[in-house]
Structure 1
Amino acid sequence: MRKQRNSIEYEVYGDYALFSDAATRIGGEKISYQVPTYQALKGITESIYWKPTLVWVIDAVRVMNKIQTEGKGIRSILIKPKAKKRNELSYYTYLKDVRYQVLAHFEWNEQRRDLMPDRDENKHHNIARRAVERGGRRDIFLGTRECQAYVEPCEFGAGAGFYDEYGEWDMGYMAHGFTYPDENSNHDFIVRFWHPIMCNGIIEFERPDSDKLDCRTIRERQSIKNFVIGENMSLEGE
């Protein structure tokens, strides 16, 4: 697996994780995938460091701990509570005691030509690496807000993992991620699906623009936020 010159490597871990697909939440129930989605790892990486000038590409994830689940009864607040009934009991299926190694790199967001003066690869790479060392710039979560997580720098592939000698594991059809309006030329909101295979604990992700993904357009030609350097965005890194 080739690492890019602007790659970052980190380990993310926590007591619980919930990587769910919206289609599995009918009736308030949530069931986690067995492994994190591309979008979940992209969100974690953006919590470590992000600017609209760049787009993070997740290259691979390595599952370090044994995949285990735990069910919990959750009292969720109703959006439109019924008479004398303010919440309902829902059952969430979490992953527990999770640890992952992540390899990612960034590319310039070609839809943000107005931010070309901010395209300084060394600056952004150095800031991203320092952010990894500090545990991220924002709070880190594994899928949902209640699943607090922590980030540390690592060397991708180093150390012993539970599935190092496991061979191939077909993970089934699952969500890959979203393509947001400011990440494609048509400004569409797109959802992506795929069929990943984990090999000895490692999943190598298809790029978001890969023709091997099953892509479906949710909304067409959406508006995107404008950034103006010096007004609502700074060229300063820190």
Structure 2
Amino acid sequence: MSAEKLKSRTFRLKVWGENACFTRPEMKVERVSYDVITPSAARGILEAILWKPAIRWQITRIDVLKPIRWTSVRRNEVGAVMSPRANGLFVEEQRQQRAGLFLRDVAYIIHAFFEMTAQAGDDDNLRKFEEMFLRRSEKGQCFHRPYFGCREFAANFEPLSGRIEDLKPIDESRDLGFMLYDMDHSGEEPMPLWFRAKIQNGSVNVPLFNSTEVRR
């Protein structure tokens, strides 16, 4: 089967929410968000709606629908992970107060397609998963509630079809610098992947996973 036949149609999913934090990994103490949603966070939203070993999502473009606004918050976080051998975790002893610079009132259109993987079975095909994704997204079904970077920042979603002239990206262009693209799990240890992100007329074009624009 040709590579083109292993590629689904392009889907457009509108996502929005009150707050978001797509944390910059170079910030060690405070949580500081990227200016827009990262490709890995966008993929996570799609996988919350439909994930199967037989498919892999590829983000192609992100439209920014609302002006980029910020809010500064101080919040309590637990500074430890409970060990399986431990009897419990005393939260008051591990509580840490951290400052965060988050996004507020966000909305995006995620453009994406999926590819069939080597784990696809004989009964798996593009149409089956295309219809499954459309059905689940139209009904608001998901394996877990999708979120914008942090689980407390829930993401609403709806699929888009037909003409969407009323959903125009913001009239802005800027260079966002290097942004986290995703994590590569093909080796013994997960490795971060990066790309040079730019907002051009309100949209961020996302390179393909195996593109030379994606760097290790």
Distance 2:70 2:135 in 1: 33
Q: Tell me by how many angstroms 1:116 deviates.
A: 2.9
Taking structure 2 as the reference length, what is the TM-score of the superposition?
0.84
The 8 Å contact of residues 176 and 196 in structure 2, kept in 1 or not, is answered as: yes
The 8 Å contact of residues 179 and 208 in structure 1, kept in 2 or not, is answered as: no
| 1:51 and 2:52 aligned | yes
Aligned equivalent of 2:75: 74
Taking structure 1 as the reference length, what is the TM-score of the superposition?
0.77
Aligned equivalent of 2:208: 207
Structure 1 residues 14 and 68, CA, compared in 2 at 3 Å: closer, same or farther?
same
Q: Tell me by how many angstroms 1:151 deviates.
A: 0.5
**Structure 2 letter corresponding to 1:154:** L
Aligned equivalent of 1:12: 15
**Structure 1 letter corresponding to 2:175:** D
For the aligned residues, what is the CA RMSD?
2.3
**Structure 1 letter corresponding to 2:140:** G
Distance 1:190 1:118 in 2: 33
- Aligned mate of 1:140, from 131, 146, 150: 146
Aligned equivalent of 1:151: 157
Alignment of 1:73-222 (within 5 A): 73-79=74-80, 85-110=93-118, 112=119, 115-137=120-142, 138-155=144-161, 158-161=165-168, 163=170, 165-166=171-172, 168-181=173-186, 189-215=190-216
Aligned equivalent of 1:234: none
Q: Which has the higher contact order (CA 8 A, sep 6+)?
A: 2
After superposition, give the CA deviation of every residue in 1:19-41 in whole Å (9 maximum; x if it has no partner).
Answer: 013321x12x1000001111000
After superposition, give the CA deviation of every residue in 1:204-223 in whole Å (9 maximum; x if it has no partner).
Answer: 100111112111xxxxxxxx
Instruction: Find runs of 4+ consecutive structure 1 residues off by over 2 angstroms.
Output: 4-7, 155-158, 186-190
Distance 1:143 1:136 in 2: 20
**Structure 2 letter corresponding to 1:117:** D
| Count of residue pairs brought into register by the alignment | 200
Q: Tell me by how many angstroms 1:7 deviates.
A: 2.2
* Unmatched tracts of structure 2, length 5 or more: 1-6, 82-88
Distance 1:33 1:66 in 2: 14
For the residue of structure 1 that corresponds to 2:132, the secondary structure is helix
The 8 Å contact of residues 8 and 126 in structure 2, kept in 1 or not, is answered as: no
Using the aligned pairs only, state the percent identity.
Answer: 22
The 8 Å contact of residues 178 and 190 in structure 1, kept in 2 or not, is answered as: yes
The 8 Å contact of residues 8 and 114 in structure 2, kept in 1 or not, is answered as: no
Q: Tell me by how many angstroms 1:157 deviates.
A: 5.3
